[in-house]
Amino acid sequence: MTFKSLGLSDALVKAVRKKGYTEPSTIQEKAIPLILEGKDVLASAQTGTGKTAGFTLPMLQILSQQSKWKRRPIRALILTPTRELAAQVYTNIREYSEFLDIRSAVVFGGVKAKPQIATLRNGVDILVATPGRLLDLQNQKALSLARIEILVLDEADRMLDMGFLRDIKKILALMPVKRQNLLFSATFSKEIKNLAGSFLHHPVLVEATPEYLTAEKVNQKAYRVDKNKKTALVIHLINEGNWEQVLVFTRTKHGANKLCKKMIGSGITAAAIHGNKSQTARTKALAGFKKGEVRVLVATDIAARGLDIPLLPHVVNFELPNVPEDYVHRIGRTGRAGASGEAISLVSTEEKNYLKDIEKLLDQSLDTEIVKGFEPDTSTPTQANTNRSQTKNSKRKTGKKKFYGGSKRKSSNNYKK
């Protein structure tokens, strides 16, 4: 399968080639022809599947085929939950539209509105936005959504998690009824299905298997440790293993800050990235991390969602997420594109049920070890302590077909070439 055979124009094929993509990913293969046909699409896809190109390439093609406007109205809107994702989607659009006469812009909170208003005044075809700032700008009459032809909700599940449902509904009411709608979500809760039902017209469902995520490529391990020894253990692991570029997940913003300070205190360059950090601070932290100047990036799930950090060698779950799917998203940050990676989870007694849920979702038991010098206090024994060591390397086969196919999924990957 080639990008050309999916019906994309030469200008887009050229841009894609320039990015180094040799063939479309599964989601691109499935979604691009449907979107080009004008269909509403409900897509199950997460970061790493190539979903962004899956919706932006056909969108660019549709918009560039239409007649030229004197004053460009916004014809396509992409809503994203976080500023980082908005910025990333925008960067991709800029790259893919290099050989087209298409103007795009991005707006999100945490930075001054004035330059955004000035850009919008010049006319843009595609706007990437987070819901809050979009509504602010709309209230100030800095933009109009009355000419929207294509709407994309990217990472819709995360938008609902972050409480954007009301904003989304307000935004939907500002657009013409007749338009093409695309909804991308990693998970499909009842709420997502309700939302999809409320605005998609006869949507076609497309699914992308997270092909980058295979148990073969991600070496997953759990260390049993008491809560109060976790900081010392993670610092020990980073130092002992000489780890560079480590992404550490904490459950809370406060926890991220605290851990980051401790790391810095022990001589490890670290930065925290979460919702309370200013946009400038987040961008700076991410850039430093990508360049290798910052060794450890401590992040919360929401802040990390959608971040494009390729080929991370180490991901650490300082705390396990209480939503098992988040574990899959987190470890999807490592072992991408054919490279091997390591995902370490620090599991305290309190978290044993989270671990069980994760193992159930993965359909696989995680290797569990104890690091010498960091043994859990045995005066509070847990069932997990006794069970897990016996299940080392064993894989529970339940026969159930899981979305995240674990080790049973084929290990081939679209981006490996």
Residues lying near ligand AMP in the complex (CB under 6 A) are found at: 21, 24-25, 28, 47-53, 308, 310, 414-415
Q: Answer whether 127's CB lies under 8 Å from 74's CB.
A: yes
Any idea of the CA torsion for 258, 263, 267, 273, to the nearest 10 degrees?
-80
CB of 100 to ligand AMP, least distance (A): 18
Record the tokens describing residue 1, joined without a space. Answer: 């399968």
CB of 212 to ligand AMP, least distance (A): 8
Paired with 270 in beta bridges are 296
How many angstroms from the chain centroid is the CA of residue 31? Answer: 18
**Residues 351, 357: Cα–Cα separation, whole Å:** 10
**Residues 240, 143: Cα–Cα separation, whole Å:** 54
Q: Which is nearer to ligand AMP, 284 or 416 (CB)?
A: 416
Q: Which is nearer to ligand AMP, 13 or 296 (CB)?
A: 13
Record the tokens describing residue 33, joined without a space. Answer: 């022809």
Q: Which is nearer to ligand AMP, 50 or 341 (CB)?
A: 50
CB of 85 to ligand AMP, least distance (A): 9
- For 128, phi and psi rounded to 5 degrees? -105, 130
Q: Answer whether 18's CB lies under 8 Å from 12's CB.
A: no
Q: Which is nearer to ligand AMP, 76 or 270 (CB)?
A: 76
CB of 63 to ligand AMP, least distance (A): 19
**Residues 401, 166: Cα–Cα separation, whole Å:** 35
Q: Which is nearer to ligand AMP, 52 or 116 (CB)?
A: 52
CB of 88 to ligand AMP, least distance (A): 7
Q: Which is nearer to ligand AMP, 2 or 65 (CB)?
A: 2
The structure tokens 């998609």 sit at 200
**Residues 412, 417: Cα–Cα separation, whole Å:** 10
Q: Which is nearer to ligand AMP, 32 or 145 (CB)?
A: 32
Instruction: Count the neighbouring beta carbons within 10 Å of the beta carbon of residue 335.
Output: 26
Q: Which is nearer to ligand AMP, 176 or 310 (CB)?
A: 310
**Residues 319, 381: Cα–Cα separation, whole Å:** 19
**Residues 298, 274: Cα–Cα separation, whole Å:** 8
CB of 84 to ligand AMP, least distance (A): 11
Record the tokens describing residue 100, joined without a space. Answer: 């087209």
CB of 275 to ligand AMP, least distance (A): 20
CB of 55 to ligand AMP, least distance (A): 9
User: Which residues fall within 8 angstroms of residue 34, CB to CB, at 6 or more apart?
Assistant: 41, 204, 206
- DSSP 8-state class, residue 130: -
